[in-house]
């Protein structure tokens, strides 16, 4: 069965889960690992992130879209091209909070940047739950759209109603300009106000990277 959660909730199960935060946590996780980071360790709070500072580690993330004082990097994936062999400690408003709610046997990070790599990986799994991170407790268009793309590309019929809804959204949108679609979302408009309009275009690229981050113990790695 394929399920989609439009908002995160505490999960403890043996099924496979996929976390989606297109703007921008999972896009950042994918980009960092694709550019040679050793791992990305998501944490819930700024203080937890600062407490993990050590040699060869970058403290990264955002609150309200802005990089906290003293952090090495923010949450723009475009900042993660020069992170080879670094450990990334990441805390964000929505994405890392959603990740902390998931206690599943298998957890992958997905976005448009690694869409078909994730789809190919999921073909090996029977039961899948795609979890949209949302924004401060509200459903986000871009996450549901990406979840729908995953469901659509899996080409399966054993779908929950939520999975069908997200799939139909993607089916109506897949031939349109993805960057323009995402730009209309509430979250994207907030990022534009903070000066991150180029992030929307970057995160709209489909299959830029052929990797699937897996969550092992406390971190995302490429296995």
Domain ranges of the chain: 2-217
Cβ burial of 185 (10 Å; 0-12, 13-18, 19+) is buried
- Residues 53-69 have a mean pLDDT of 95
- CA dihedral sign of residues 198, 203, 209, 213: positive
- Residues 54-83 have a mean pLDDT of 96
Q: How far apart are CA 62 and CA 71, in angstroms?
A: 9
Cβ burial of 60 (10 Å; 0-12, 13-18, 19+) is buried
Going by pLDDT thresholds of 50, 70 and 90, the confidence category of residue 13 is: confident
Q: How far apart are CA 195 and CA 79, in angstroms?
A: 14
pLDDT of 142 strictly over 90: yes
Q: How far apart are CA 186 and CA 93, in angstroms?
A: 15
- The CB density around residue 179, as the number of other CB atoms within 10 Å, is 15
Provide the strand spans (E) within 65-166. Answer: 87-91, 102-110, 128-132
| CATH code that applies to domain 2-217 | 3.90.1560.10
The predicted pLDDT at position 22 comes to 98
Q: How far apart are CA 131 and CA 11, in angstroms?
A: 10
E strand or H helix at 219: strand 219-221
Percent of residues, the chain, with pLDDT higher than 90: 96
The predicted pLDDT at position 14 comes to 85
Q: How far apart are CA 35 and CA 12, in angstroms?
A: 31
CB 162 within 8 A of CB 177: no
- Residues 192-208 have a mean pLDDT of 97
């Amino acid at each position: 069965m394929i399920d989609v959660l439009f908002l995160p909730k505490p999960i403890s199960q043996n099924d496979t889960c996929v976390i989606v935060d297109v703007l921008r946590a999972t896009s950042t996780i994918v980009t960092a690992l694709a550019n040679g980071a050793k791992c990305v360790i998501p944490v819930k709070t700024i203080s937890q992130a600062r407490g993990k500072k050590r040699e060869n580690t970058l403290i990264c993330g955002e609150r309200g879209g802005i990089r906290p004082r003293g952090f090495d990097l923010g949450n723009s994936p475009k900042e993660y091209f020069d992170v080879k062999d670094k450990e990334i400690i990441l805390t964000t408003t929505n994405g890392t909070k959603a990740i902390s709610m998931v206690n599943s046997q298998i957890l992958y990070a997905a976005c448009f940047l690694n869409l078909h790599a994730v789809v190919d990986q999921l073909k090996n799994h029977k039961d899948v739950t795609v979890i949209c991170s949302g924004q401060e407790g509200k459903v986000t268009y871009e996450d549901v759209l990406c979840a729908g793309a995953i469901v659509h590309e899996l080409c399966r019929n054993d779908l929950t109603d939520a999975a069908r809804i997200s799939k139909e959204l993607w089916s109506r949108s897949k031939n349109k300009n993805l960057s323009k679609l995402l730009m209309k979302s509430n979250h994207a408009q907030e990022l534009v106000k903070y000066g991150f309009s180029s992030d929307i275009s970057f995160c709209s690229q489909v299959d830029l990277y052929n990797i699937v981050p897996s969550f092992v113990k406390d971190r995302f790695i490429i296995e």
